[in-house]
Amino acid sequence: MMNPRDIHIPVMLERCLELLGPALQAPGSVYVDGTLGMGGHAEAILSRYDNAQLVGMDRDPQALAIARERLAAFAGRTTLVHTVYDGIAGALAQAGVPRSHAVLYDLGVSSLQLDEADRGFAYAKDAPLDMRMNQSDGITAADVIASYGEGDLRRIFERYGEEKLSGRYARAIIAARQTAPLTRTGELVDVLQDATPAALKNQGHPAKRVFQALRIEVNGELAALESAIPAALNTLAVGGRLVILSYQSLEDRFIKRLFAEATRSTAPAGLPVEMPEHRPRFRLLVKGAELASADEAERNPRAKPVRLRAIERVRERE
């Protein structure tokens, strides 16, 4: 089996440890890695915090197998669960623990999925149009390309890829598939390149946003995130912390909104004094979204687009 340390550099590792560490000091503290991947963040947490018990979640069975081997030295305080990251309550129940104390979501496509060409995530490598994070279940990107109408293709390219040429690309795909099915990444890239006006071809690769949109659609990523964040907040004990690393503006805006709602007072407008039951149940740990340092972005290109947000529970629900 490949050595994950050779292909995966955890993003903003020290900052994640710094933010989550205060919640992992007490005996029996529970760290949930909602997007375990190849276990880089989890290995660092377990190594540094002897009190921490890991509940590691991932939808990709291959990633879980790699993480299990990597974390073998900590097997006595590790529970790995095959589930999407909105399944945190069920994962905690499987581990036999009622609450979490530190939760990390490192969103987006993993190094494992990007670097294995046959997964179909990378537009720079010709491969089957798959893009499923769990290859044993669900529709593929090829299924989407083959079966969605022009309006639906345009919708996902606009919403999930923020692609300005969504309509043009949707029409080009519909026309191309009349001749032959599009089953490989290279075939789709060719269609997109041919449909891109010459004046725009030097403004980034034409497939970047379309591939992002297809990946989000195939894996239901935003739907999972929409339920995952409230679920994670509900599991946190007082003093518990949630850190989220996102890599797209679409995800970051969504996280920002949910965190703003969680840290807002529920007191009716105009009250002269805020009653204790109306005080926010959470507080922000960082102002805005933090970026990786220039040094880290240079060492690890996948850290360049990252946005980190963090929140802490300060009181229970009344």
Which residues define the annotated binding site?
A: 39-41, 58, 85, 106, 113
Q: Are 56 and 39 in contact (CB under 8 A)?
A: yes
Q: Name the 3-class secondary structure at 68.
A: helix
Q: What is the largest CA-CA distance in the chain?
A: 69
- Cβ pair 151, 173 in contact under 8 A: no
Asked if 103 and 88 touch (Cβ cutoff 8 Å), the reply is yes
State whether residue 271 is helix, strand or coil.
coil
- CA pair distance 54, 234, nearest whole angstrom: 18
User: What ranges make up the beta strands (E) of the chain?
Assistant: 30-33, 53-58, 78-82, 100-106, 236-246, 282-284, 307-313
Which residues are within 8 A (CB) of 208 and not within 5 positions of it... i.e. 6 or more apart?
123
Write out the two tokens for 125: 């490598």
Q: Which of 253, 267, 260, 268 is nearest to 233 (CA)?
A: 260
Cβ-based burial of 26 (10 A; exposed 0-12, middle 13-18, buried ≥19): exposed
**Binding site as annotated, residues for S-adenosyl-L-methionine:** 39-41, 58, 85, 106, 113
Q: Which residues of 234-249 are buried (b: 16+ CB within 10 A; e: fewer)?
A: ebbbeebbbbbbbbbe
Q: Residue 131, class by beta-carbon neighbours within 10 Å (0-12 exposed, 13-18 middle, 19+ buried)?
A: buried
Q: How far, rounded to the nearest angstrom, does the alpha carbon of residue 185 sit from its chain's CA centroid?
A: 22
